Structure 1
């Protein structure tokens, strides 16, 4: 059954910014990863208690082009401006996945007072040499799904299977567009910030770190590093789940919701 979203659109500093919204209740601002290929359907698992605002980053997903983006600081400024435009009646929770977890870390690190609780799902950003991430550039395209999900069939749902030429063409176009923006975003330091622990140390909001134990993209051995660097954090390790932990184990979202509602 298809998930039904409300579409919201804002002009943020000249960039068309699209939010897919679902649910009612206290808002959650969700920041996606380095691609939007898996979509936002996971948000239905939180929509019974929260209004989930799934924004497409500038140059990604449904949002417009962002030729000005030259690093993560531009995304942080963009989301601070978006918060101003949203003018929410109460502080939202902040939730980021993968690259969006890195983004959420920098955003909350500089503007912790704008948010209630913070959830980081398999966050990127630390670049710790003792716990190396997989080099995506070294992977053959056909191998990528196996690095996104422990049960590869879950990841394969989002990739072309050869049966729909139009979908395959659109998929390639979308990934190329997002990849171009991603390249500029990562130009300064790669997939992270050398001083990310300083950002984490400033986040005194109650925080939750969620990680799939079988993550082949960003190893779960990084999870304690995030928890130790955050002043007030809990950890949920999910068995038999890879990087797409929310898609593989939807029940995890009940635990996330319980944390946010508690």
Structure 2
């Protein structure tokens, strides 16, 4: 059965921003990665203890196009404005996955006082040449699922299988639309910021770094670099999990929830 979300809509600086919400309790703001193909169903694993807010970035998912976005700083400003509009009753926890982890790092580095705890799940952004990320531009489309999950069948759930032409058409259109926004986001520095360690050093919030040991997209060898750069962080390595660690190993959500609730 499909996970049931509330759909909330806000006008943030002239951009329709859609937030999928589920659960009750302390708010958790989740920032997704470089696409929305895997959707937000994972949030059900936190909804027994938290009010999980899953916005689509401007130009991604359910939100409207955002032709003004020219780099990550525009996304950070967007989320500061969204927080103002949400006017939450208490400081939310902040979770960022992949590109959303990079986004969360810059956001928390600039506005750590707006958040309680932070979780970075296979975060992008560090661009350390000794631990290079996979160049997705060199990966054939049919090979992409194997880079997203160690158990490729998990990633294949989210891709067209040829049985539904309408889904395949919508899938392609969504990826094209998100890819256009992503291209503008990456124009300044690529998938990261050359001074990201300076942002990390400012994040005094308790932080959990989560990484799958079999991540072929962003290598788990980056995980200690994040933990070392953060003033108050610990690490969970998830064995036999790829980049889609929450979908591949749903029990990880219980550990994340315990960290946030502790």
2:145 is aligned with 1:157: no
State the 1:157 CA deviation: 0.2
- In the other structure, the counterpart of 2:256 is 256
TM-score normalized with structure 2 length: 1.00
Q: Distance in 1 between matches of 2:2 and 2:72?
A: 33
- In the other structure, the counterpart of 2:56 is 56
- In the other structure, the counterpart of 2:130 is 130
State the 1:224 CA deviation: 0.2
State the 1:245 CA deviation: 0.1
Q: Distance in 2 between matches of 1:164 and 1:11?
A: 34
Structure 2 residue matching 1:176: 3-state secondary structure: helix
Structure 1 residue matching 2:107: 3-state secondary structure: helix
Superposition misfits of 4+ residues, deviation over 6 angstroms? none
Give a deviation string over 1:99-150, Cα, whole Å, max 9, x none: 0000000000000000000000000000000000000000000000000000
Q: Distance in 1 between matches of 2:249 and 2:51?
A: 21
- In the other structure, the counterpart of 1:7 is 7
- In the other structure, the counterpart of 2:229 is 229
Structure 1 residue matching 2:36: 3-state secondary structure: coil
- In the other structure, the counterpart of 2:118 is 118
- In the other structure, the counterpart of 1:31 is 31
State the 1:180 CA deviation: 0.1
In the TM superposition, 1:98-247 aligns within 5 A as 98-247=98-247
State the 1:73 CA deviation: 0.1
- In the other structure, the counterpart of 1:43 is 43
TM-score normalized with structure 1 length: 1.00
Q: Distance in 2 between matches of 1:128 and 1:68?
A: 29
Q: Distance in 2 between matches of 1:240 and 1:103?
A: 26
Q: Distance in 1 between matches of 2:65 and 2:230?
A: 34
5+ residue gaps, structure 2, are none
Structure 1 residue matching 2:143: 3-state secondary structure: helix
Q: Distance in 2 between matches of 1:224 and 1:42?
A: 25
Q: Distance in 2 between matches of 1:184 and 1:247?
A: 28
Structure 2 residue matching 1:105: 3-state secondary structure: helix
Give a deviation string over 1:156-194, Cα, whole Å, max 9, x none: 000000000000000000000000000000000000000
Q: Distance in 2 between matches of 1:134 and 1:69?
A: 24
Structure 1 residue matching 2:237: 3-state secondary structure: strand
What RMSD, in angstroms, separates the aligned Cα atoms of the two structures? 0.2
Q: Distance in 1 between matches of 2:228 and 2:26?
A: 28
State the 1:38 CA deviation: 0.1
Q: Distance in 2 between matches of 1:118 and 1:239?
A: 22
